[in-house]
Amino acid sequence: MEQNGEKSQEATQYRRQQAREHGQVARSQDLGSAALLLGSLVAILWIGGSVADALGKLTQYYLGGDAWLETDVASITAEFAGLASALASAVLPLLCVMLVIAVGANVAQLGLLFLPEKLMPDITRVDPIRGFQRIFSLTSVVRLFFGLIKVVLVGAVAYACLAGELSNLLALVGLELPQIGQSISESLLWTGIKIASALLLLALFDYGFQWWRQEQDMRMTTQEVREEMKNLQGDPQIAARRRAVQRQLILNRLSATVPKADVVITNPTELAIAVQYDPQTMAAPVVVAKGAGLLAQRIRKLALENGIPIVEKKPLAQALYKEVEVNEPIPAKMYAAVAEVLAYVYQLKGKTMPRMK
């Protein structure tokens, strides 16, 4: 038996939507940072050479070129505009890649989420009691644990990479300065990529923990599920009473309309459609009642009690039930089929079938 307050039920879709609207979603800050770091290093490895060349040429031009002989406002403004344009051309592709990675990493975790209320001041954020609760919470302990693991992981990966490059570093002694710089930069870059990959793997575990914790926090007790259903659908007792009243109104209407019908067409037991035709007031036969299941049984019972013929016509009954509403005339495409049924009924009664208008 469920204990009082035990969250044994999965979160409903409504509860998940409410949590999302309040920003309560699984999110790992480390995952975005690690993805950005790894993506940036890979981008530098891919296009970093062209960026370095452009910046090198720009530095050589401004530090090794001719001195500025004109220092008026127009000349200085033009020089700074050219410098800004050159810097943008060199660095903007790398910055765009980093922007796409940063946005993509967060969208992958959260989706498109707009929370303007998070921008509003909240006095509870500076509440010292809640601050202490956050510091000594399970989340803070786990974050501290992950922080220590990250330090150890970064140190271990860096040591392993640099230890493997020790022989290559010692061989740099006989190389020229540009070659030394290129070799060291490549070694550091690949070391950074390996460290970022390890951090990304650890961040994925952190995101998994955050997702699991979010699922546990959103679990509901049986009473919470009942309360939610009551709020969304209304009191079950009131809803049941409303359905009973509606059912009684339908039965009362059937009791008033079915006895006026000329024939009841069935399918043979699942559907029942009561049809009436008065050539003096109607241009075509009219469906005065229809129903399926229990309503069909009620229509058949009323027809038997009032001596109304019941004719089994499965295709016609299905067509009338699907296409014709109550108190609507039958469409012209069904005239022939309904006329055949009415002719049979009038023949049973010893009467002549009136011609449809």
Cα of first residue to Cα of last residue in the chain, in angstroms, is 70
> pTM, whole model, 2 decimals?
0.54
Average pLDDT, the chain: 81
Q: Look-up: residue for tokens 């290093």?
A: 41
Residue 265 has a pLDDT of 92
CB 82 within 8 A of CB 125: no
For residue 62, which phi and psi values (nearest 5 degrees)? Answer: -85, -25
For every residue of 210-236, DSSP letters joined together read HHHHHHHHH-B-HHHHHHHHHHHH--H
pLDDT in tens, 74-108: 877 887 888 888 888 888 888 898 899 888 888 88
What's the average model confidence in pLDDT over 146-175? 81
pLDDT in tens, 128-154: 666 666 666 766 777 788 788 888 988
Tokens of 75: 């000349």
Residue 56 has a pLDDT of 82
pLDDT in tens, 240-293: 777 777 777 777 888 888 898 889 999 877 899 999 988 888 888 999 999 888
Predicted confidence band of residue 2 (pLDDT cuts 50, 70, 90) = very low
pLDDT in tens, 340-357: 888 888 888 777 666 655
pLDDT in tens, 192-226: 899 999 989 988 888 888 888 888 888 888 888 77
Q: Look-up: residue for tokens 């039958």?
A: 330
Domain coordinates of the chain in residue numbers? 24-219, 255-348
CB 285 within 8 A of CB 342: yes
Whole-angstrom CA distances from 299 to 203, 248, 261, 302, 327 are 66, 14, 10, 5, 15
Classified by CATH at the fold level, domain 255-348 comes out as name from scop (3.40.1690)
Q: Is the peptide bond before 331 cis (omega within 30 degrees of 0)?
A: no
Q: Residue 79 and residue 75: Cα distance in Å, rounded? A: 6
